[in-house]
Structure 1
């Protein structure tokens, strides 16, 4: 009699226990999905920031004005002509964001740092201030009687553009441009992370600085690999 009573009592208890376990599992699964949908993911945010940056195509990070002074000489028919040109112009320093891919952005979860290897700075073709160009010639016979004036102008303008580019490549200006690019890239990745409440660091560097990041770069993972792994895990749990 006692055995029958125990069996009758055990069966409802077992059923209730099973239901509670099942409910617990369902609640855990529900909360884990809600948490994953609510909790900000730094890799997902970084990937969205990268996509937005790529859509900008080219980013001007710095610009500077220069003055080129060049002189050309033409010898013709036993005569010579000389002309000097002063050419002011503005040069833009740009990042080609189309070259910034997911493989260049890596997340290191151990120290909450996003590492970004930026493409090299590119110098755009100088914008010549045509209205400010000044020319000086020797007023010789060759200029008065032939097309030497046009020939010298064309030669000087080519030399002037080349001189502006050369000035733009000086180490100090390149350093300023790289630092401006570094700050711009950091800003573009940091602001969305901070807005999501993520206290992450963003460390941006150029290819020539890669040797100083070898250890962390090899240890961290490209964000596209992390996202692919997350999607695979999500697919297996559904």
Structure 2
């Protein structure tokens, strides 16, 4: 039987490898075409005029809890040089932006929540606050100032892209600053406390205290300071048996 399989493999193995290679190449080409069609092919009506429509979309589940939002106005600038340095142009834009902060509660495990029976305190060792992608609302620009002796169409497009990219970068830097992250963590404590209020009340611990910590705050030995002894899943399980 083994000799038969070896002979079959020698005879047809090369053909199978070629077939698999063709399938892989074909799949890559199809994926490439789909991306090209999504990003560069203009959708048109029957008369050939371009149309506003959704080209591609997807929806996915998420376990992130929004805990805070930063909003404001950003001023962004960009420069462009063409024609061997003869065509110089610049652009200044002001527009509103917002950045969301999240805590991925899906990452919480039973071992991350511990119960101090003496002080009736729930310690929640939460994952850190995550900064979302800035939403720069270019449709609500309050100022657009473009300067230059002669601004070509290509230069105008380049300036627009750079202004948008610079605004995104500046908004991200502001949102990730230590001051803003500290504020977001404080909002995160409140949001997680409210989230856990219902299961605590259901377990007969509606008046319990909730302490939420984030990774930067757990560099010291906070567990000893809070004298945590019992994982919260054991507390809930024991209370369920008592009922």
Q: Which bin holds the TM-score, normalised by the shorter protein?
A: 0.5 to 0.7
Query: Using the alignment, how far apart are the partners of 2:199 and 2:231 within structure 1?
Result: 19
Match of 2:162 among 155, 177, 187: 155
Residue pair 2:123, 2:228 contacting (<8 A) in 1 also:
no
Say which SS state the counterpart of residue 138 (structure 1) adopts. Answer: strand
Query: Using the alignment, how far apart are the partners of 2:139 and 2:62 within structure 1?
Result: 31
Following superposition, the deviation at residue 180 of structure 1 comes to 1.1
Give TM-score, length-normalised by structure 1: 0.64
Residue pair 2:116, 2:227 contacting (<8 A) in 1 also:
no
Query: Using the alignment, how far apart are the partners of 1:219 and 1:205 within structure 2?
Result: 13
Residue pair 2:115, 2:228 contacting (<8 A) in 1 also:
no
Aligned runs of 1:24-173 on 2, under 5 Å? 57-77=63-83, 78-79=85-86, 80-133=88-141, 134-141=143-150, 143=151, 145-173=152-180
Task: Classify 1:56/1:152 alpha carbon distance in 2 versus 1 (closer, same or farther; 3 Å).
Answer: closer
Residue pair 2:136, 2:167 contacting (<8 A) in 1 also:
no
Query: Using the alignment, how far apart are the partners of 1:225 and 1:217 within structure 2?
Result: 18
Large movers: runs of 4+ above 3 Å: 194-197, 216-219, 223-228
Partner of 1:43 in structure 2? none
Partner of 2:230 in structure 1? 221
Query: Using the alignment, how far apart are the partners of 1:212 and 1:67 within structure 2?
Result: 40
Following superposition, the deviation at residue 212 of structure 1 comes to 5.3
Task: Classify 1:81/1:139 alpha carbon distance in 2 versus 1 (closer, same or farther; 3 Å).
Answer: closer
Task: Classify 1:219/1:174 alpha carbon distance in 2 versus 1 (closer, same or farther; 3 Å).
Answer: closer
Which structure features the higher share of helix residues? 1
Following superposition, the deviation at residue 62 of structure 1 comes to 1.0
> Cα RMSD between the aligned structures?
2.6
Task: Classify 1:102/1:182 alpha carbon distance in 2 versus 1 (closer, same or farther; 3 Å).
Answer: same
Aligned runs of 1:187-202 on 2, under 5 Å? 187-194=194-201, 196-198=203-205, 199-202=207-210
Following superposition, the deviation at residue 151 of structure 1 comes to 0.7
Count of residue pairs the alignment pairs up: 175
Say which one has the larger Rg. Answer: 1
Query: Using the alignment, how far apart are the partners of 2:62 and 2:96 within structure 1?
Result: 29
Query: Using the alignment, how far apart are the partners of 1:180 and 1:219 within structure 2?
Result: 24
Give TM-score, length-normalised by structure 2: 0.63
Following superposition, the deviation at residue 165 of structure 1 comes to 1.2
Structure 1 runs not aligned, ≥5 long: 1-54
Greater length-normalized contact order (CA 8 Å, ≥ 6 residues apart): 1
